[in-house]
């Protein structure tokens, strides 16, 4: 099949949304499909070592000053998305795709517009939702007026009902979307992990020397975006509590943008017990996790987003400290170490439980590694392919 992916984001950037878009596309390509990605004018190219022939097509650089790579809303994206409609229309007209796969709410809307403009082509549209649009904007402190929130909630409900088929990156997001859908129900299309990335890595000792990490410490690691809606503040507030109870702990924070957490990093306890690795390449992530002892994902369930970092921790065989949410239970089961409450204190308790017991770390790490085998990108692509075929048969 010919698949046109709509990615209303600066693809590729080293964060969860982009990892999902990239890995879905790569897995579909491995299954023999021809994939084209329509995206913004900025972002890294797909690394040549992946051997991919995915065609990444970008909008014109009319907003040449726009260079924002991190997640979060921006009014200028309205202009970028208008340009992306034009680009997607051109690609749909010339490439004649069988399927338009629209990521995020903006991508679903753009795909719907192009599908209707070229209605005689009978292209199937799959809406791929990564979380709640309105809740994410609120979590980024972008919507302050209750009236504006209600308007965006209304728009979100309309978009939730678009697409001949809809998929969501998490179980609870799919459940929320189905409250709005009057057509076919949204299905969970889960993130995955590539276990081969964690093979043939240097030793833990050599990696700690490479990154300047103490070899005799229990390394507690957070990877990903350093922005509020990822729960990073819970983790940062938990760090001093962990150090107070467990001086043997050392924290690694790997991600961007670092300026978002500069007030924390200026504190004495952070300067002595925390190592920052920024920026963090997705393709360097396995090395960071291999030298770690514990993974932390402090995201709560507010935005209804999936938790790709948890899957990466699992693929690396790390025990994971998390909050007790439906998504985390589904992924981790008995391999998770769950905070007794959604707070910094609760998270510190879960982390401390793992820091204090190597046996517990080893046991839960093995469980996580075994469970990771259930979540592969190839399985995700197989499920997406079945959805595409069903649409084309109809």
Average pLDDT, the chain: 92
Measured CA to CA, the distance from residue 374 to residue 80 in angstroms comes to: 37
Measured CA to CA, the distance from residue 99 to residue 3 in angstroms comes to: 5
pLDDT (tens digit per residue) in 194-248: 998 999 999 999 999 999 999 999 999 999 888 877 889 999 999 999 999 999 9
The mean pLDDT of 65-93, rounded to a whole number, is 92
The mean pLDDT of 97-111, rounded to a whole number, is 97
The mean pLDDT of 375-385, rounded to a whole number, is 94
Measured CA to CA, the distance from residue 315 to residue 335 in angstroms comes to: 12
* pLDDT range class, residue 71, cuts 50, 70, 90: confident
What is the pLDDT, as a whole number, of residue 210? 95
What is the pLDDT, as a whole number, of residue 139? 57
Q: Tell me: pLDDT of 80 over 90.
A: yes
pTM passes above 0.85: yes
The mean pLDDT of 317-337, rounded to a whole number, is 93
Percent of the chain at pLDDT > 90 equals 77
Domain residues of the chain, as ranges?
2-192+376-393, 195-372
Measured CA to CA, the distance from residue 322 to residue 274 in angstroms comes to: 20
* pLDDT range class, residue 319, cuts 50, 70, 90: very high
* pLDDT range class, residue 184, cuts 50, 70, 90: confident
CATH architecture of 195-372: 3-Layer(aba) Sandwich (3.40)
- Classify domain 2-192+376-393 by CATH number: 3.40.50.2000
- The contacts of residue 298 (CB under 8 Å, 6+ apart) are 222, 230, 231, 232, 234, 235, 238, 322, 323, 347
Q: Tell me: pLDDT of 108 over 60.
A: yes
> How many residues would you count in the chain?
394
Question: Are the beta carbons of 377 and 25 closer than 8 angstroms?
Answer: no
Q: Tell me: pLDDT of 147 over 80.
A: no
Q: Tell me: pLDDT of 306 over 80.
A: no
Sign of CA dihedral 247, 253, 259, 261: negative
H/E stretch holding 125 reads strand 124-129
Of 289 and 68, more confident: 289
Q: Tell me: pLDDT of 145 over 60.
A: no
pLDDT (tens digit per residue) in 336-367: 999 999 999 999 999 999 999 999 999 999 99
The mean pLDDT of 95-122, rounded to a whole number, is 97
Measured CA to CA, the distance from residue 299 to residue 331 in angstroms comes to: 14
What is the pLDDT, as a whole number, of residue 4? 98
Fold match between 2-192+376-393 and 195-372?
A: yes
């Amino acid at each position: 099949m010919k698949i046109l992916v709509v990615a209303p984001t600066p693809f590729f950037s080293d964060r969860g949304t982009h990892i999902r878009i990239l890995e879905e596309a790569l897995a579909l390509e491995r299954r023999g499909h021809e994939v084209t990605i329509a995206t913004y004018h900025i972002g890294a190219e797909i690394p040549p070592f992946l051997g991919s022939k995915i065609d990444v097509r970008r909008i014109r650089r009319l907003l040449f000053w726009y260079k924002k790579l991190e997640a979060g809303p921006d009014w200028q994206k309205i202009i970028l998305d208008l340009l992306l409609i034009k680009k997607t229309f051109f690609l749909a007209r010339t490439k004649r795709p069988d399927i338009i796969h629209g990521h995020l709410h903006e991508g679903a809307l753009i795909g719907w517009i192009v599908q209707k403009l070229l209605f005689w082509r009978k292209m199937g549209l799959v809406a791929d939702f990564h979380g709640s649009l309105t809740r994410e904007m609120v979590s980024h402190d972008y919507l302050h007026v209750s009236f504006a929130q209600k308007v965006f909630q209304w728009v979100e409900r309309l978009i939730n009902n678009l697409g001949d088929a809809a998929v969501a990156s998490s179980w609870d997001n799919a459940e929320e979307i189905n409250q709005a859908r009057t057509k076919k129900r949204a299905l969970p299309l889960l993130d995955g992990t590539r276990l081969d990335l964690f093979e043939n890595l240097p030793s833990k000792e050599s990696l700690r020397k490479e990154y300047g990490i103490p070899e005799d410490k229990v390394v507690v690691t957070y990877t990903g975006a350093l922005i509020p809606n990822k729960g990073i503040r819970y983790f940062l507030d938990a760090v001093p509590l962990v150090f107070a109870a467990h001086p043997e702990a050392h924290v690694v924070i790997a991600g961007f943008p670092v300026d978002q957490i500069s007030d924390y990093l200026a504190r004495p306890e952070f300067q002595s017990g925390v190592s920052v690795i920024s920026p963090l390449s997705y393709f360097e992530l396995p090395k960071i996790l291999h030298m770690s002892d514990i993974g932390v994902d402090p995201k709560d369930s507010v935005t209804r987003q999936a938790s790709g970092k948890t899957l990466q921790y699992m693929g690396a065989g790390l025990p994971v400290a998390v909050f007790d949410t439906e998504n985390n239970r589904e992924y981790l089961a008995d391999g998770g170490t769950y905070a007794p409450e959604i707070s910094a204190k609760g998270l510190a308790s879960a982390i401390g439980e793992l820091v204090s017991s190597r046996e517990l770390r080893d046991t839960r790490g093995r469980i996580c590694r075994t469970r990771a085998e259930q979540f592969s990108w190839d399985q995700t692509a197989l499920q997406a392919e079945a959805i595409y075929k069903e649409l084309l048969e109809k």
